[in-house]
Amino acid sequence: MMKKTVLFVAAAVLASATFAQDGLTSKKGEAYLPEAGDWAIGFDGTPFLDYAGNMFNGNTGNSVNATWVGNTPEMTIVGKMFKDESTAYRAKLRIGYGSSTIENVIDTSTTTLTGEFTDKAKSSQMMITLGGGLEKRKGNTRLQGYYGGEALISFGSSSVEHTFADASSGTTAAGDIRYAEYTDDFANATSTSQDPLTGENERTTKVTNGATFGLQLRAFIGVEYFFAPKMSISAEYGWGLMMSSTGTGERDTESYGISTGAAAESSIARKHTVGGSSAFGIDTDNNGGQITIMFHF
């Protein structure tokens, strides 16, 4: 009886050691691979890899910052829920909003004006992306292959508002509309040229672009390596259908002049329609490869 017990314990220890040596558990007995019921969250790994790489090339501009607002469903947070060891439900989420302000100081040294004239342009944009899909996994080592399909929808909007320092352009003839002097409308127009987008002697005060809706149906395939228990890095490629639609927007402009029948100069405001657009394509969607760092728990 004692002999059988010793043999049983020895066999159990040998089996445990063999399992630990196959690379699927750590020395502490922690499983490397995800199991049924596990959850996972992932982030775009490119900024972190750039940072690590720059540490070895002497680049003093290291940063983990990334452009997170735009009109593409990139930079989303990835979540997974494992139905079993080889099947996972995927979800993606991105809620982004950003704004920026550009100031343009007008040179008045060659004019009769005094003081500082500063024009401003403030832009803002918003992007929301939601997605879901199914992932299947293949492999018996810490290096896993995976494939599946998912759908993503996105909504976006953007606008630009201009604030000008000067409020008048001087007296003009009746009925004449003149571009406001000593300003820059941030659209490559000088103080004596026409607005390049409207073809009129006016300047842009605000542009509100139409809302953008996007839909993506994609198949994906990738490889994932677990470098620590429940921690991995993956590279993924996708192929599928992508389409987007942007509605009509509005462009506000102003000019200065004496309207017909009026005796004094005044501001003349106009509204212009900005045309919408649409796009459609079937192609690979990330030829550079999407690198993701995943944490499972």
Instruction: Name the E strands within 109-265.
Output: 117-138, 143-163, 177-178, 203-208, 212-228, 231-246, 249-257
Closest Cα partner for 71 from 151, 158, 156? 156
Query: In whole angstroms, what is the distance from residue 265 CA to residue 259 CA?
Result: 7
pLDDT score at 8 = 35
pLDDT at 20: 42
- Give me the residues of the chain with pLDDT under 50, please: 1-21, 51, 60, 62-73, 170-172, 174-185, 187-194, 196-198
Q: 249: number of CA atoms within 13 Å, CB side?
A: 19
What is the pTM (predicted TM-score) of this model?
0.69
* 171: helix, strand or coil: coil
Q: Is 35 left (phi over 0), alpha (psi -120 to 50) or beta?
A: beta
Identify whether the C-beta of residue 76 lies closer than 8 Å to the C-beta of residue 290.
no
Largest Cα–Cα separation, the chain = 118
pLDDT at 204: 80
Question: pLDDT value at position 3?
Answer: 42
pLDDT the model gives residue 110: 64
Residues 208, 161: Cα–Cα separation, whole Å: 8
